[in-house]
Structure 1
Amino acid sequence: MQINEKARQELFNEIDGISADNLNKKPSDDQWSIKQIVEHLYLMEGAIAKTIQGKLENGEVVNAEIKPIEAAINREVKIDAPKYTKPSNDFATLEELKKKLNMTHQKLLNIEEEADKEVLKVKGFPHPVFGQMSLKQWIPFVGYHEMRHILQIKEVKEKLGL
Protein backbone atom coordinates (compact mmCIF):
# COMPACT_ATOMS: atom_id res chain seq x y z
CA MET A 1 0.00 0.00 0.00
CA GLN A 2 3.05 2.27 -0.09
CA ILE A 3 2.21 3.73 -3.52
CA ASN A 4 -1.42 4.06 -2.42
CA GLU A 5 -0.45 6.07 0.66
CA LYS A 6 1.89 8.27 -1.38
CA ALA A 7 -0.78 8.85 -4.03
CA ARG A 8 -3.46 9.66 -1.47
CA GLN A 9 -1.22 12.19 0.27
CA GLU A 10 -0.41 13.82 -3.08
CA LEU A 11 -4.10 13.86 -4.00
CA PHE A 12 -5.03 15.61 -0.75
CA ASN A 13 -2.17 18.08 -1.20
CA GLU A 14 -3.47 18.85 -4.69
CA ILE A 15 -7.13 19.36 -3.73
CA ASP A 16 -6.87 20.89 -0.25
CA GLY A 17 -8.04 24.49 -0.14
CA ILE A 18 -9.99 24.40 -3.40
CA SER A 19 -13.39 26.04 -2.99
CA ALA A 20 -16.53 24.00 -3.61
CA ASP A 21 -17.34 26.15 -6.64
CA ASN A 22 -13.94 25.51 -8.20
CA LEU A 23 -14.08 21.80 -7.33
CA ASN A 24 -17.33 21.47 -9.25
CA LYS A 25 -16.36 23.68 -12.21
CA LYS A 26 -15.62 21.93 -15.50
CA PRO A 27 -12.87 23.37 -17.72
CA SER A 28 -15.10 22.52 -20.72
CA ASP A 29 -18.29 20.58 -21.45
CA ASP A 30 -16.37 17.46 -22.47
CA GLN A 31 -13.96 17.41 -19.51
CA TRP A 32 -14.43 16.33 -15.92
CA SER A 33 -14.35 18.75 -13.01
CA ILE A 34 -11.93 18.09 -10.14
CA LYS A 35 -14.91 16.83 -8.14
CA GLN A 36 -15.75 14.35 -10.91
CA ILE A 37 -12.15 13.10 -11.05
CA VAL A 38 -12.14 12.56 -7.29
CA GLU A 39 -15.53 10.86 -7.43
CA HIS A 40 -14.18 8.54 -10.14
CA LEU A 41 -11.25 7.70 -7.86
CA TYR A 42 -13.35 6.61 -4.90
CA LEU A 43 -15.82 4.78 -7.14
CA MET A 44 -12.91 2.89 -8.73
CA GLU A 45 -11.18 2.16 -5.42
CA GLY A 46 -14.45 0.96 -3.88
CA ALA A 47 -15.24 -1.27 -6.87
CA ILE A 48 -11.76 -2.80 -6.88
CA ALA A 49 -11.88 -3.41 -3.12
CA LYS A 50 -15.28 -5.08 -3.45
CA THR A 51 -14.10 -7.24 -6.35
CA ILE A 52 -10.91 -8.26 -4.51
CA GLN A 53 -13.00 -9.24 -1.47
CA GLY A 54 -15.31 -11.31 -3.64
CA LYS A 55 -12.43 -13.02 -5.45
CA LEU A 56 -10.69 -13.80 -2.15
CA GLU A 57 -13.80 -15.70 -1.10
CA ASN A 58 -14.94 -17.21 -4.41
CA GLY A 59 -12.32 -16.46 -7.05
CA GLU A 60 -10.36 -18.87 -9.18
CA VAL A 61 -6.63 -19.44 -9.11
CA VAL A 62 -5.23 -17.62 -12.16
CA ASN A 63 -1.49 -17.40 -11.37
CA ALA A 64 -1.25 -14.17 -13.39
CA GLU A 65 2.12 -12.88 -14.52
CA ILE A 66 3.34 -9.60 -13.04
CA LYS A 67 2.07 -6.68 -15.14
CA PRO A 68 3.72 -3.25 -15.69
CA ILE A 69 1.02 -1.47 -13.69
CA GLU A 70 3.23 1.62 -13.30
CA ALA A 71 2.27 2.35 -16.92
CA ALA A 72 -1.20 3.30 -15.66
CA ILE A 73 0.25 6.75 -14.88
CA ASN A 74 0.76 7.49 -18.60
CA ARG A 75 -1.97 9.99 -19.56
CA GLU A 76 -1.15 9.68 -23.26
CA VAL A 77 -2.86 6.29 -23.33
CA LYS A 78 -6.59 7.07 -23.19
CA ILE A 79 -8.91 4.60 -21.50
CA ASP A 80 -12.64 5.02 -21.11
CA ALA A 81 -13.75 4.71 -17.51
CA PRO A 82 -15.96 1.70 -16.82
CA LYS A 83 -19.62 2.68 -16.58
CA TYR A 84 -19.79 1.98 -12.84
CA THR A 85 -16.94 4.46 -12.19
CA LYS A 86 -18.30 7.36 -14.24
CA PRO A 87 -18.94 10.36 -12.00
CA SER A 88 -22.18 12.24 -11.65
CA ASN A 89 -22.80 15.93 -12.25
CA ASP A 90 -23.98 16.31 -8.64
CA PHE A 91 -22.43 19.09 -6.56
CA ALA A 92 -20.11 17.98 -3.73
CA THR A 93 -17.89 19.64 -1.15
CA LEU A 94 -14.27 18.82 -0.41
CA GLU A 95 -15.29 17.45 2.99
CA GLU A 96 -17.80 15.03 1.39
CA LEU A 97 -15.26 13.88 -1.17
CA LYS A 98 -12.52 13.30 1.40
CA LYS A 99 -14.89 11.33 3.62
CA LYS A 100 -15.73 8.97 0.74
CA LEU A 101 -12.06 8.68 -0.28
CA ASN A 102 -11.14 7.78 3.30
CA MET A 103 -13.86 5.11 3.45
CA THR A 104 -12.79 3.32 0.25
CA HIS A 105 -9.10 3.66 1.15
CA GLN A 106 -9.69 2.10 4.57
CA LYS A 107 -11.63 -0.76 2.99
CA LEU A 108 -8.74 -1.56 0.63
CA LEU A 109 -6.21 -1.22 3.46
CA ASN A 110 -8.22 -3.64 5.63
CA ILE A 111 -8.32 -6.20 2.82
CA GLU A 112 -4.56 -5.90 2.28
CA GLU A 113 -3.85 -6.31 6.00
CA GLU A 114 -6.25 -9.19 6.63
CA ALA A 115 -6.06 -11.26 3.45
CA ASP A 116 -3.99 -14.40 3.09
CA LYS A 117 -0.89 -13.23 1.17
CA GLU A 118 -0.68 -16.47 -0.84
CA VAL A 119 -4.30 -16.19 -1.95
CA LEU A 120 -3.66 -12.57 -3.04
CA LYS A 121 -0.80 -13.84 -5.23
CA VAL A 122 -2.60 -16.69 -6.97
CA LYS A 123 -6.15 -15.39 -7.41
CA GLY A 124 -7.04 -12.52 -9.70
CA PHE A 125 -9.32 -10.94 -12.28
CA PRO A 126 -8.75 -9.24 -15.63
CA HIS A 127 -7.88 -5.59 -16.19
CA PRO A 128 -9.13 -4.07 -19.51
CA VAL A 129 -5.58 -3.16 -20.61
CA PHE A 130 -3.21 -5.42 -18.66
CA GLY A 131 -5.28 -8.60 -18.85
CA GLN A 132 -5.35 -11.08 -15.98
CA MET A 133 -3.89 -9.50 -12.82
CA SER A 134 -3.35 -10.98 -9.39
CA LEU A 135 -5.32 -9.57 -6.48
CA LYS A 136 -1.95 -8.59 -5.01
CA GLN A 137 -1.22 -6.34 -8.03
CA TRP A 138 -4.69 -4.83 -8.05
CA ILE A 139 -3.95 -3.18 -4.68
CA PRO A 140 -1.01 -1.01 -5.85
CA PHE A 141 -2.74 -0.52 -9.20
CA VAL A 142 -5.21 1.70 -7.31
CA GLY A 143 -2.30 3.95 -6.29
CA TYR A 144 -0.89 4.18 -9.82
CA HIS A 145 -4.40 4.89 -11.18
CA GLU A 146 -4.71 7.68 -8.62
CA MET A 147 -1.33 9.13 -9.68
CA ARG A 148 -2.63 9.24 -13.25
CA HIS A 149 -5.62 11.28 -12.16
CA ILE A 150 -3.54 13.60 -9.97
CA LEU A 151 -1.87 14.66 -13.22
CA GLN A 152 -5.35 15.22 -14.67
CA ILE A 153 -6.31 17.34 -11.65
CA LYS A 154 -3.21 19.46 -12.18
CA GLU A 155 -4.25 19.97 -15.83
CA VAL A 156 -7.77 21.00 -14.78
CA LYS A 157 -6.42 23.40 -12.13
CA GLU A 158 -4.22 25.01 -14.78
CA LYS A 159 -7.16 25.37 -17.19
CA LEU A 160 -9.26 26.93 -14.42
CA GLY A 161 -6.43 29.26 -13.40
CA LEU A 162 -6.12 27.80 -9.88
Structure 2
Amino acid sequence: MNQLINDHLCETRNILVEEFKSLSDTQFNAKPDANSWSIAQVCHHLTLTEESFIRLIAWGLKQEDSKQTERKNIHLIADRTTKVPAPEILEPAKDFFTVQHIIELLDDSRGKFIAFLDTIENPSILAEKSFKHPVLGELPLDQWVELVYIHEQRHIGQIKEIKAFI
Protein backbone atom coordinates (compact mmCIF):
# COMPACT_ATOMS: atom_id res chain seq x y z
CA MET A 1 0.00 0.00 0.00
CA ASN A 2 1.10 3.55 -0.71
CA GLN A 3 2.92 4.90 2.37
CA LEU A 4 1.22 8.29 2.11
CA ILE A 5 -2.22 6.64 2.17
CA ASN A 6 -1.15 4.51 5.11
CA ASP A 7 0.06 7.63 6.95
CA HIS A 8 -3.25 9.39 6.31
CA LEU A 9 -5.19 6.36 7.53
CA CYS A 10 -3.12 6.20 10.74
CA GLU A 11 -3.12 9.94 11.40
CA THR A 12 -6.86 10.33 10.85
CA ARG A 13 -7.68 7.31 13.01
CA ASN A 14 -5.51 8.68 15.83
CA ILE A 15 -7.29 12.04 15.64
CA LEU A 16 -10.66 10.27 15.66
CA VAL A 17 -9.89 8.23 18.78
CA GLU A 18 -8.45 11.28 20.58
CA GLU A 19 -11.79 13.04 20.07
CA PHE A 20 -13.72 10.54 22.15
CA LYS A 21 -11.43 8.32 24.24
CA SER A 22 -11.72 10.46 27.38
CA LEU A 23 -15.54 10.60 27.29
CA SER A 24 -17.62 8.59 29.72
CA ASP A 25 -19.72 5.84 28.18
CA THR A 26 -22.81 7.95 28.94
CA GLN A 27 -21.40 10.99 27.11
CA PHE A 28 -20.27 8.70 24.28
CA ASN A 29 -23.84 7.49 23.77
CA ALA A 30 -25.57 10.86 24.28
CA LYS A 31 -27.42 12.34 21.31
CA PRO A 32 -27.88 16.07 20.66
CA ASP A 33 -31.50 15.30 19.66
CA ALA A 34 -33.74 12.37 18.77
CA ASN A 35 -32.89 12.57 15.06
CA SER A 36 -29.11 12.64 15.48
CA TRP A 37 -26.50 10.00 16.06
CA SER A 38 -24.43 9.72 19.20
CA ILE A 39 -20.63 9.73 18.96
CA ALA A 40 -20.76 5.99 19.55
CA GLN A 41 -23.09 5.58 16.59
CA VAL A 42 -20.90 7.75 14.38
CA CYS A 43 -17.95 5.50 15.21
CA HIS A 44 -19.99 2.34 14.66
CA HIS A 45 -20.99 3.74 11.25
CA LEU A 46 -17.28 4.23 10.46
CA THR A 47 -16.51 0.57 11.22
CA LEU A 48 -19.43 -0.59 9.08
CA THR A 49 -18.30 1.67 6.25
CA GLU A 50 -14.69 0.51 6.38
CA GLU A 51 -15.74 -3.13 6.25
CA SER A 52 -18.15 -2.44 3.38
CA PHE A 53 -15.33 -0.77 1.42
CA ILE A 54 -13.36 -4.03 1.63
CA ARG A 55 -16.24 -5.90 -0.02
CA LEU A 56 -16.82 -3.14 -2.55
CA ILE A 57 -13.16 -2.88 -3.61
CA ALA A 58 -12.83 -6.67 -3.77
CA TRP A 59 -15.93 -6.85 -5.95
CA GLY A 60 -14.64 -4.04 -8.18
CA LEU A 61 -11.33 -5.85 -8.65
CA LYS A 62 -13.11 -9.00 -9.84
CA GLN A 63 -15.22 -7.22 -12.45
CA GLU A 64 -13.91 -7.82 -15.94
CA ASP A 65 -15.96 -4.94 -17.37
CA SER A 66 -14.83 -2.45 -14.71
CA LYS A 67 -13.16 0.43 -16.46
CA GLN A 68 -10.71 3.18 -15.74
CA THR A 69 -12.54 6.41 -15.03
CA GLU A 70 -11.66 10.02 -14.37
CA ARG A 71 -10.44 10.97 -10.94
CA LYS A 72 -12.86 12.98 -8.82
CA ASN A 73 -12.45 15.60 -6.13
CA ILE A 74 -13.17 13.16 -3.32
CA HIS A 75 -12.36 15.77 -0.69
CA LEU A 76 -15.91 17.06 -1.24
CA ILE A 77 -16.98 14.20 1.03
CA ALA A 78 -15.36 15.97 4.00
CA ASP A 79 -17.63 19.00 3.49
CA ARG A 80 -20.25 18.84 6.25
CA THR A 81 -22.41 21.61 4.79
CA THR A 82 -24.08 19.00 2.59
CA LYS A 83 -25.92 16.30 4.53
CA VAL A 84 -25.60 12.88 2.96
CA PRO A 85 -27.82 10.17 4.43
CA ALA A 86 -26.06 6.89 5.08
CA PRO A 87 -27.25 3.89 3.09
CA GLU A 88 -29.39 1.68 5.32
CA ILE A 89 -26.72 -1.03 5.43
CA LEU A 90 -24.27 1.51 6.94
CA GLU A 91 -26.61 2.90 9.58
CA PRO A 92 -25.28 2.27 13.08
CA ALA A 93 -26.96 0.11 15.68
CA LYS A 94 -29.00 1.81 18.36
CA ASP A 95 -27.11 -0.19 21.00
CA PHE A 96 -25.32 1.31 23.99
CA PHE A 97 -21.60 1.09 23.17
CA THR A 98 -18.72 1.46 25.56
CA VAL A 99 -15.78 3.58 24.48
CA GLN A 100 -13.53 0.54 24.81
CA HIS A 101 -15.78 -1.64 22.65
CA ILE A 102 -15.83 0.93 19.85
CA ILE A 103 -12.04 1.28 20.00
CA GLU A 104 -11.83 -2.51 19.57
CA LEU A 105 -14.30 -2.41 16.64
CA LEU A 106 -12.31 0.41 15.01
CA ASP A 107 -9.04 -1.50 15.50
CA ASP A 108 -10.64 -4.63 14.05
CA SER A 109 -12.07 -2.91 10.96
CA ARG A 110 -8.78 -1.11 10.29
CA GLY A 111 -6.82 -4.32 10.69
CA LYS A 112 -9.10 -6.07 8.19
CA PHE A 113 -8.83 -3.14 5.76
CA ILE A 114 -5.02 -3.03 5.87
CA ALA A 115 -4.79 -6.83 5.63
CA PHE A 116 -7.10 -6.76 2.60
CA LEU A 117 -5.05 -4.05 0.87
CA ASP A 118 -1.90 -6.05 1.54
CA THR A 119 -3.37 -8.99 -0.40
CA ILE A 120 -3.55 -6.94 -3.60
CA GLU A 121 -0.50 -8.09 -5.56
CA ASN A 122 -0.44 -5.15 -7.95
CA PRO A 123 -1.96 -2.07 -6.25
CA SER A 124 -1.74 -0.08 -9.51
CA ILE A 125 -4.76 -2.09 -10.70
CA LEU A 126 -6.84 -0.04 -8.25
CA ALA A 127 -6.43 3.02 -10.50
CA GLU A 128 -7.54 1.02 -13.53
CA LYS A 129 -10.87 -0.20 -12.19
CA SER A 130 -13.85 1.68 -10.81
CA PHE A 131 -17.08 1.32 -8.89
CA LYS A 132 -20.03 3.69 -8.63
CA HIS A 133 -20.18 5.87 -5.51
CA PRO A 134 -23.70 6.99 -4.50
CA VAL A 135 -22.70 10.68 -4.43
CA LEU A 136 -19.59 10.98 -6.62
CA GLY A 137 -20.49 8.57 -9.41
CA GLU A 138 -17.94 6.22 -11.03
CA LEU A 139 -14.85 6.35 -8.86
CA PRO A 140 -11.47 4.64 -9.33
CA LEU A 141 -10.91 1.96 -6.68
CA ASP A 142 -7.76 3.66 -5.39
CA GLN A 143 -9.91 6.70 -4.58
CA TRP A 144 -12.24 4.41 -2.63
CA VAL A 145 -9.21 3.58 -0.47
CA GLU A 146 -8.57 7.29 0.12
CA LEU A 147 -12.24 7.80 0.94
CA VAL A 148 -11.78 5.77 4.13
CA TYR A 149 -9.76 8.52 5.83
CA ILE A 150 -11.60 11.39 4.12
CA HIS A 151 -14.90 9.94 5.32
CA GLU A 152 -13.43 9.71 8.83
CA GLN A 153 -12.39 13.35 8.63
CA ARG A 154 -15.98 14.27 7.79
CA HIS A 155 -17.21 12.43 10.85
CA ILE A 156 -14.53 13.87 13.12
CA GLY A 157 -16.18 17.21 12.34
CA GLN A 158 -19.54 15.71 13.25
CA ILE A 159 -18.13 14.35 16.52
CA LYS A 160 -16.85 17.82 17.43
CA GLU A 161 -20.33 19.21 16.79
CA ILE A 162 -21.94 16.52 18.96
CA LYS A 163 -19.45 17.17 21.77
CA ALA A 164 -20.64 20.77 21.91
CA PHE A 165 -24.12 19.48 22.84
CA ILE A 166 -23.20 16.88 25.46
- Taking structure 1 as the reference length, the TM-score comes to 0.93
Aligned to 1:16: 21
Further displaced range: 110-119 or 84-93: 110-119
Deviation at 1:94, TM superposition (A): 1.1
8 Å contact from structure 1 (residues 24, 33) kept in 2: yes
8 Å contact from structure 1 (residues 59, 123) kept in 2: no
CA distance in 2, matches of 1:134, 1:107: 21
CA distance in 1, matches of 2:137, 2:90: 19
Residue identity opposite 1:76 in structure 2: T
CA distance in 2, matches of 1:147, 1:13: 13
Aligned to 1:131: 137
- For the residue of structure 2 that corresponds to 1:125, the secondary structure is strand
Aligned to 1:155: 161
Pairing 1:91–2:131 present: no
Residue identity opposite 1:121 in structure 2: A
8 Å contact from structure 2 (residues 66, 131) kept in 1: no
CA distance in 2, matches of 1:38, 1:59: 34
Pairing 1:74–2:76 present: no
8 Å contact from structure 1 (residues 49, 104) kept in 2: no
CA distance in 2, matches of 1:18, 1:62: 45
For residues 43-101 of structure 1, the C-alpha deviation after alignment (integer angstroms, 9 at most, x for no partner) is: 11110112112222345332011111111110001111011010121111111111111
- For the residue of structure 2 that corresponds to 1:159, the secondary structure is coil
Alignment coverage as a number of residue pairs: 160
Note the aligned Cα RMSD (angstroms). 1.3
8 Å contact from structure 1 (residues 44, 85) kept in 2: yes
For residues 8-46 of structure 1, the C-alpha deviation after alignment (integer angstroms, 9 at most, x for no partner) is: 011011011111111111111011100110011111111
- For the residue of structure 1 that corresponds to 2:56, the secondary structure is helix
CA distance in 1, matches of 2:49, 2:67: 22
- For the residue of structure 1 that corresponds to 2:139, the secondary structure is strand
Pairing 1:103–2:75 present: no
CA distance in 2, matches of 1:34, 1:75: 16
- For the residue of structure 2 that corresponds to 1:98, the secondary structure is helix
Gaps of 5+ in 1: none
Identity of aligned residues (%): 32
